[in-house]
Amino acid sequence: DQGCQYTSERFVSDLKANGIVQSMSRKGSCWDNAVVERFFRSLKSEWIGEQEYGSHEQAQRDITGYIADFYNYRRIHSAANNLPPVRYENSNY
SS (H, E, C) 52-73: CCCCHHHHHHHHHHHHHHHHHH
Residue 83 maps to a domain: yes
The residue ranking higher by pLDDT, 83 or 2, is 83
Strand partners of residue 83? 77
Residue 19 maps to a domain: no
Residue 54 has pLDDT above 90, yes or no: yes
pLDDT confidence band for 77 (50 / 70 / 90)? confident
Residue 76 maps to a domain: yes
- Please report the pLDDT score of residue 58 as a whole number: 96
- Please report the pLDDT score of residue 1 as a whole number: 60
Residue 93 has pLDDT above 80, yes or no: no
Rounded mean pLDDT, 52-70: 95
Q: Look at the chain and report how many structural domains it folds into.
A: 1
Rounded mean pLDDT, 70-87: 91
Q: Which domain holds residue 90?
A: 52-93
